[in-house]
Amino acid sequence: MGNPVNFLLKLGQKTGFIGTGVDEVTNIVDEGLRYMDDESAVREILNLYYSNMDRGSKLTTRGQVQDTDLGRMKVNVGRVPLQETGRTIVQPENIVQPEPLPLEQLLEEDAVIIPTMWDRSDLGVLTGVNDQQLAFPVPLQAGYKYPMTAENFEANRYGASNQSPVTTVMNAARRASGQVVDKKTGEIIKEGRPVYGVYTNMGGESNDYSTMVSDTVLSMLPSSKIKKKDLKEFDELMSSKIEGWPGLEGAEDNPEKLNEVREFLNRPEGGDDRKIFVKTMELARWNDAGFPDIVSARAATSVPDMLGMGTGDATGRVVGRIDYNAPTTTDTQHSTYPVSIPRVAGTPLYRVATESGAFADIPRDLLLPDYLAARRAEGKPEVSDTRAITMSVPSQDVTAKYIDDIMMELRAQENRGYPFNR
C-alpha cells in the first residue's frame, strides 16, 4: 500500500489531528531506549523496570528468563528487547505548560485533594515504532497531558473519561468539598471548599482501552511479516471472542480493509474489544509469529520517561481545580472518552515541584496518606489500592504536615538524584 505518512508529514503540513496538540508538523523526533547514547542511563531505566514489575512497570504479561544487572530473573518482555524499543513522533507544540504547585496557597484556601487516576498515554502524532514506519499516523490524545492542549485549557477541561467514571469523580469532588445543597430546590446552602484533582498514573498496560494502542498495532500490520495461515487462525480466534469481528486477513495490503478494522475497534462502545484484541495478540503464539509487538506499541504510546515506573510513581504531573458545580460536556477532543471533567474557569494547571520550582513526581502514598494508612491498618494489600482508589475516589485534606511530608520527599529526591527506585 502507499505510505500516507510521508505525504502528511511535509514540514508545515496541517494535520487535522484534534486533541493531539499538533496543528502543524514542525518537530519530528526519534525517542526511546533504542535512540539513547548513554548506556548507563539505559541500564538504569532497565533496572528500574525490572525492580518495579510487580508494582505496575511491566508492559506485558509475557515473561522470559534473562540475565540482568539484578541477577537472572523472569522479565516481562515481548519479542523486541526493551532496549531496542523506540518511536518516531510529531511532538505537540500548541500546549499550555503547568505552573509549580503552590502548596501553601492550597493550605490557605483550606483545599482538599482527590486523585484522578489516568493511563500513561502521551500527546502528539505517532508515525513510527522501532524500525517500522506506520501505515497511518496515530493521534495520541494523552493521559495527564490532556488538559494541557490549548483547546482543552481554553475550554476549561481538566480530564475526560466515560460517563460512569466522570460521574464518580464529580460526586467525589462535591462530597469532599463539604458543599451543602437543598435537595428540593438545588440551591447551594453552604459553599464548598476548593477541590483539586491530582493525576496519579496507572500501570504500564493501562493504555489498552484507548484507541491509541489498537491504532498503533493496526498501523504496524502492513510492515509486519505474518503468514497467511497465521492471520487466518488469529481471525478465527478473534471471531470467537468478539462479536462481529471484521478480520485482519487482507488488511495487511488493503488500506480500505485496514480502515474497516480500525473503524470497528474505534467505535464508542469498543473499549473492551480493543483490550481483547491487544491482549490476545500479545500472547506468545501470535507475538512469535511476527504479529506487531505489543510491548513496543504500549511503550510507543506512553510518556517515555514513565518507562520503568510503578503504578502511582508519577503522581502530581498535573493538578487542576475541579469545578464540581459545572456541567460535564460531551465535547472532549478525545477519540476514546466522550465526557469531560470541568476545571474552574480562569484557574491555572499545576504540577508538583521542588522549592526551586523544578517539576518532580511524588509517590502515591504521599498523595493519599490517610486513606492508604487506613487500608494498611485494615490489612488490605497494596496490590488492591488502584482499584479501590478508582472506585471510591477518596479525599485528602491539605494540612501543614501534609505539605511538610511532600517537601521532605522532594528534598530527598534532589539529594539522591532522579529517576530512582523508591
**How does pLDDT run along the chain (422 residues), one tens digit per residue?**
445 455 455 444 455 688 999 988 889 999 999 999 999 999 999 999 999 999 999 999 999 999 999 999 999 999 999 999 999 999 999 999 999 999 999 999 999 999 999 999 999 999 999 999 999 999 999 999 999 999 999 999 999 999 999 999 999 999 999 999 988 888 899 999 999 999 999 999 999 999 999 999 999 999 999 999 999 999 999 999 999 999 999 999 999 999 999 999 999 999 999 999 999 999 999 999 999 999 999 999 999 999 999 999 999 999 999 999 999 999 999 999 999 999 999 999 999 999 999 999 999 999 999 999 999 999 999 889 999 999 999 999 999 999 999 999 999 988 765 454 33
CB 367 within 8 A of CB 193: no
CB 113 within 8 A of CB 320: no
Which residue spans within 32-131 are E strands per DSSP? 64-68, 71-75, 87-90, 99-100, 112-118, 123-129
Q: How far apart are the first and last CA of the chain?
A: 48
Across-strand partners of 107? none
CB 403 within 8 A of CB 352: no
Kindly report the pTM of this predicted structure.
Answer: 0.93
Report helix, strand or coil for 340.
strand
CB 258 within 8 A of CB 135: yes
How far apart, in Å, are the Cα atoms of 73 and each of 65, 67, 175, 203, 308?
5, 7, 46, 20, 16
Report helix, strand or coil for 344.
coil
* DSSP designation for 313: T
* Residue found by looking up cell 493521559 in the block: 143
Across-strand partners of 133? 128
Query: Grid coordinates representing 85?
Result: 524499543
Residues 6-9: contacts with CB within 8 Å, 24+ apart?
8/137, 9/90, 9/127, 9/137
Alpha-carbon distance of 207 to 342, in angstroms, equals 22
Name the packing angle between helices 369-377 and 385-392 (round to 10°): 120
How far apart, in Å, are the Cα atoms of 12 and each of 19, 128, 132, 258, 380?
18, 19, 23, 27, 54
* DSSP designation for 82: G
Alpha-carbon distance of 190 to 294, in angstroms, equals 51
Across-strand partners of 159? 341
Across-strand partners of 160? 340
Q: Tabulate helix, strand, coil % of the chain (nearest 5).
A: 40, 20, 40
How far apart, in Å, are the Cα atoms of 325 and each of 171, 192, 345?
10, 10, 12
Quick one: pLDDT at residue 383?
A: 86
Alpha-carbon distance of 261 to 245, in angstroms, equals 8
Helix (H) or strand (E) holding 153: helix 150-154
CB atoms within 10 A of CB 112: 20
Quick one: pLDDT at residue 262?
A: 96
Quick one: pLDDT at residue 73?
A: 96
